Amino acid sequence: MSAALRLRRLGLLAAASGGTYTLLRDPSISYTDSASPLAALKTKISDPVASVPPRATQEAALMGANAENPLDILVVGGGATGTGVALDAVTRGLRVGLVEREDFASGTSSRSTKLIHGGVRYLEKAVFNLDYGQLKLVFHALKERKQLIDNAPHLCHALPCMTPCFSWFEVIYYWAGLKMYDLVAMGQLLHFSRYYSFKQSVELFPTIAKKGNNKDLKGTVVYYDGQMNDSRLNVAIACSAALGGAAVLNHAEVISLIRDEGNGRIIGAHIRNNLTGEVFDTYAKVVVNAGGPFCDSVRQMADKNAKPVICPSSGVHIVLPDYYSPDGMGLIVPKTKDGRVVFMLPWLGRTIAGTTDSDTAITMLPEPHENEIEFILDALCDYLNVKVRRTDVLSAWSGIRPLATDPSAKNTESISRDHVVVEEVPGLVTVTGGKWTTYRGMAEDAVNAAIKSGKLNPNNGSLTSNLQLVGADGWESASFTILTQQYVRMKKSHGGKILPGVMDTAAAKHLSQAYGVLAERVAAIAQNENLGKRLAHGYPFLEAEVAYTARYEYCESAVDFIARRSRLAFLDTDAARRALPRIIDILAAEHNWDKSRIKQETQNAKEFLETFKSSRNAQFHDGKHN
């Protein structure tokens, strides 16, 4: 029986009671330990009535890990890799804790290109440079790409990407190269690449330029990679780890490491709860440093003389209205006239475009520079037949890629796109580098290193390759129809009157694709607690999502919601700003905030949104994109 069917049979339309609703356990599910480890874990994560442990319970578990009864592994960092480490470790029966000083995916993991890719450019380098190392990267990434889409089908999907060709040489070159990409993918192939004529290309992508660099468009080659909702995927990994038994805690910062005075081994960390200011100690046999761009600061807590391994690179992206690209078809130019890569992809009803690759400083809130935004707009002009305007930029952001050198390698000059796992100080395993697509493999390697370092005794090997994340079990692309047919959106008018509203297709599809089979929980809140109103005009996000994520996804601040639980800040900065008062009202009710906290949340969110350079807060206009 699918999770969706179990959910419907349970009838999760329980009446609201004190801001929550009651869920009944399904007697058809066996909770015995006699099943295989993978089956038992799948049951925990896919149980439609299960909820993650409350934040207080998670904090208490971390506090309870003392020197006499330490965790097996304490993970520092709640991005894709860190939460992946926590999930991988619990699949092996290890005692695991994780702390993140901000929020899950608050750094690089929410600011990606949103692509799950094998690396077409890496394949090109492998062929022309006869580089087997690059070829191995592609093989591994393509395998992980398929597993990631299978493990979270509601959050990930295949996306066709069109490459324009302005000469017959380009047609042959890209067709041959992308056929090789298909061949390397083999069993992990999403769909075959193919050539489209000029006429077919214009029909598929109406805004594509018919001329480029004074040459006529000859046709296009379309290939497939994956696309994801990155921060929601990160949150799903964290919640899956929590359901599996890991004590995960966001807004909890490692302020220093604990060292065994006898042998110098790292045995834990001093941690500060950034919401309350309380400081506590957590002990662990091994600490895994998955701090992304900030991993050097953790390394230097253990060894103040540790040389930096991170070479930070800034990747800027902009979001444009939906008419810039057709739904379901991306545009990727592997090499522009100045040698960079440009892409334009449909994403959550808008168009995301980028990217840049430039040196940057490591900061908590990186901001895109106006010249980087202008570069992307300039590059798009060469490949589109529509006027590209700065005023159309709904949001713009910068993410820091943690490109890494291996501190144990003799040659430290080469920066790798592959990941690095190293233990420089006993008890502290650092994992960094890599990319979103390969997070699971990176996590597996890090846990293997931690097991070796701490002489841990796992029950079994890693099980994450075939483990669906929370919300995935039983989900189908047509699951949204259940919401449209069985739920209504009860909305409160400005005058306080309760009005019924249709659960329209746009809202239903959004909920289904964001929460998987658990979308019915959100729909139940919208119906039973009169939280069915949209948060922002033109977007499908509902008030009910604020309450749901506060209760079941560790959403602790307004920024957590607008940036990572919903993607409103990334999609439309001004819409996020307009939605803030209502979002904060609902969070205040869920978390019992006082007036001082409400004021602070409002200020923090506004400051956060100022770092997203929409047309409203553009620093200047150069006259070219008006």
Domain boundaries, the chain: 50-109+233-308+413-466, 121-230+311-404
pLDDT at 15: 36
- Cβ atoms of 147 and 465 closer than 8 Å: yes
pLDDT at 32: 41
- Residue 265: φ, ψ to 5°: -75, 145
pLDDT at 503: 97
pLDDT at 35: 63
pLDDT at 212: 81
Q: What is the largest CA-CA distance in the chain?
A: 74
Kindly write down the DSSP assignment for every residue of 477-512, as one continuous string: TTTHHHHHHH-EEEEE-TTS-EEEEE--HHHHHHHH
Residue 621 burial (10 A CB sphere; 0-12, 13-18, 19+): middle
Dig out the tokens for 175 from the structure: 């067709």
Helices H, strands E: what count in the chain?
20, 22
- Cβ atoms of 314 and 399 closer than 8 Å: yes
pLDDT at 352: 97
pTM score, whole prediction: 0.92
- Cβ atoms of 483 and 315 closer than 8 Å: no
**Calpha distance 304→307 (Å, rounded):** 9
Using DSSP's 3-state secondary structure scheme, residue 264 falls into coil
pLDDT in tens, 34-51: 468 889 899 999 998 899
- CA 514-79-506 angle, to 5 degrees, is 15
- Cβ atoms of 355 and 345 closer than 8 Å: no
**Calpha distance 390→397 (Å, rounded):** 14
**Calpha distance 552→446 (Å, rounded):** 28
With a CB cutoff of 8 Å and minimum separation 6, the contacts of 483 are: 503, 507, 508, 511, 512, 519, 520, 523
Pick the CATH number of 121-230+311-404 from 3.30.9.10, 3.30.420.40, 3.30.1330.10, 1.10.10.10: 3.30.9.10
> Residue type for 126, please?
A
CA dihedral (286, 306, 403, 565) positive or negative:
positive
- Residue 59: φ, ψ to 5°: -65, -40
**Calpha distance 359→403 (Å, rounded):** 11
Q: How far is CA 455 from CA 37, 83, 91, 152, 524, in A?
A: 21, 22, 17, 32, 47
pLDDT at 408: 66
Pick the CATH number of 50-109+233-308+413-466 from 3.50.50.60, 3.30.200.20, 3.30.830.10, 3.30.1450.10: 3.50.50.60
Q: Buried b vs exposed e over 161-193: b needs ≥16 C-beta within 10 Å?
A: bbbbbbeeebbebbbebbbbbbebbeebbbeeb
**Calpha distance 178→120 (Å, rounded):** 8
Kindly write down the DSSP assignment for every residue of 440-476, as one continuous string: HHHHHHHHHHHHHHHT---SSS--GGG-PPTT-TT--
DSSP bridge partners of 73:
96, 286
User: Which of 616, 551, 550, 621 is CA-nearest to residue 577?
Assistant: 616
With a CB cutoff of 8 Å and minimum separation 6, the contacts of 30 are: 43
pLDDT at 343: 93
- Residue 76: φ, ψ to 5°: -110, 110
Average pLDDT, consecutive stretches of 10 residues, N- to C-terminus, the chain (626 residues): 41 38 31 67 90 97 98 98 98 98 97 92 80 83 95 98 95 95 91 97 96 90 97 98 98 98 96 98 98 96 93 93 95 79 94 88 92 92 92 95 75 61 97 94 98 97 96 97 97 87 97 98 97 97 98 98 98 97 98 98 97 70 49
